Amino acid sequence: MLAPGSDQIVGVFEIYSDVTPFLNQIKQTAIGIGQKAADIQAKVKHAAVENQAKVEQFSILSVGVVVGVLGLLYAILFVVVRRAQTIINHQEEERKLSHQRLSQSEKMASLGQMVAGIAHQLNTPLAFSENNVQMAKEAVDTLALPVQTVQELAKRSKAAADQDQVTIDVSEFHQELEHIDALDTDVEKISSMLDDIYNGVGQMAEMVTHLRDFTHLDQRQRQDVDVTHTLRSVVYIAKTVISNRVELIEAYHDVPRIECDVSQLNQVFLNLINNAAQAIVGHGTIWVRTQPTPQGGVQIEVEDTGCGIADDILPCIFDLYFTTKPQGEGTGMGLHIAKDIIDQHGGKIEVQTVYGKGSVFTVTLPASLVHD
């Protein structure tokens, strides 16, 4: 040990003791701890195996439940989707049927106006034809006696055909000859009346031809069409409907033939012309034009000198049931159906208007419909 206040060692203690029992105790303790650790490790391993089995079993059960729930949800979703699709298809069919009924209603309204106009136009040639037929019949009746007299003279002449001369006692035909001489029947007048009848029948035949071309009732829906030809029929029919104060001017150019439903397009064109005529107060002019497009399509214009369309209602003119006409005079379906028909043909319908001056409706049918 160190002396106080000095760095020198002044003494050493030596202690000797037997630590073997203590070491044995430590060794036994270590062995016990090792056994405990082994037991705990075995228990942990066993528990881990059991837990793993439980986890796997639970996972399989969970997956089964999830798969079952997903399958049920899929089945429910499939039924819902099928039901929704059925409802959508039904609504689409109803929409198509409703549109067809609306289109048919609009067509019948136009047809009613057209029939009234055609009936009025037919009435004129029918009236003077009937009058001329009656006058011609009366004139022909007055020619019965002269014809009979001539026939009798011809009969006697034929009976004496082998003789050089035929002697006829004029006194036998004195009364007939006096009656013939008193007749004021003009054969040229009869011929003129028959010509008038012939012309009247020709006018009626022309109307029927244009009416047949307009309706195309005897032809299939889609066909190869000369738009200019069908427009001529539409304009002819339109003239029977619109006021005679409105002048219709046609300006056609060479355009490609297209494949289309003529009856539907005629309905569109007649509607545009009728609308143009109704927009004109007093005297006015409507131009109907055709021209090819740079893309090889066909463009049809209907321009009028009417009142035009106000800016605030311009976006609504193609809406169903929208009309500016008084109640009972307009259905509000014409332009909507016209746009739908043009859309079905892959085309477009546009309008340019100046309020108070007039409008131009332009129908464009694309090159994809042009007949090669």
What pLDDT does 173 receive? 60
| 139 occurs within a structural domain | no
Confidence of residue 372 (pLDDT cuts 50, 70, 90): very low
% of the chain residues with pLDDT over 70: 66
Which has more confidence, 250 or 38?
Answer: 250
Cβ contacts of residue 299 below 8 Å, gap of 6+? Answer: 290, 291, 292, 293, 362, 363, 364, 365
* Number of domains composing the chain: 1
Q: How far apart are CA 128 and CA 201, in angstroms?
A: 10
| 20-24, 73-77, 309-313, 359-363, range with greatest mean pLDDT | 359-363
| 91 occurs within a structural domain | no
139 CB neighbour count, 10 Å cutoff: 18
Q: How far apart are CA 29 and CA 23, in angstroms?
A: 10
Which has more confidence, 84 or 8?
Answer: 84
What pLDDT does 319 receive? 83
| 278 occurs within a structural domain | yes
298-304 and 284-292 as β-strands: parallel, antiparallel, unpaired?
A: antiparallel
Could you tell me the sign of the dihedral formed by the alpha carbons of 118, 121, 123, 125, in that order? negative
Q: How far apart are CA 213 and CA 205, in angstroms?
A: 12
Q: How far apart are CA 39 and CA 55, in angstroms?
A: 23
pLDDT digit string, tens, across residues 88-98: 888 888 777 77
| 68 occurs within a structural domain | no
**Residue 68 phi, psi (nearest 5):** -65, -45
Q: How many residues does the chain have?
A: 372
Boundaries of domain holding 271: 221-371
Averaged pLDDT score across all residues of the chain: 76
Residue 351's Cβ-count burial label (10 Å; 0-12, 13-18, 19+) is middle
Task: Assess whether pLDDT exceeds 70 at residue 333.
Answer: yes
Which has more confidence, 61 or 172?
Answer: 61
Q: How far apart are CA 139 and CA 143, in angstroms?
A: 7
What pLDDT does 287 receive? 95
Task: Assess whether pLDDT exceeds 70 at residue 365.
Answer: yes
Lowest-pLDDT range of 2-11, 199-208, 223-232, 327-336: 2-11
| 340 occurs within a structural domain | yes
CA 231 to chain centre: 18
Task: Assess whether pLDDT exceeds 90 at residue 298.
Answer: yes
Return the CATH number at 290. Answer: 3.30.565.10
CA nearest neighbour of 351 among 312, 325, 306, 317:
317
| 120 occurs within a structural domain | no
Quick check: pTM over 0.75? no
| 257 occurs within a structural domain | yes
| 12 occurs within a structural domain | no
- Given a contact cutoff of 8 angstroms between Cβ atoms, the answer to whether 197 and 132 are in contact is yes
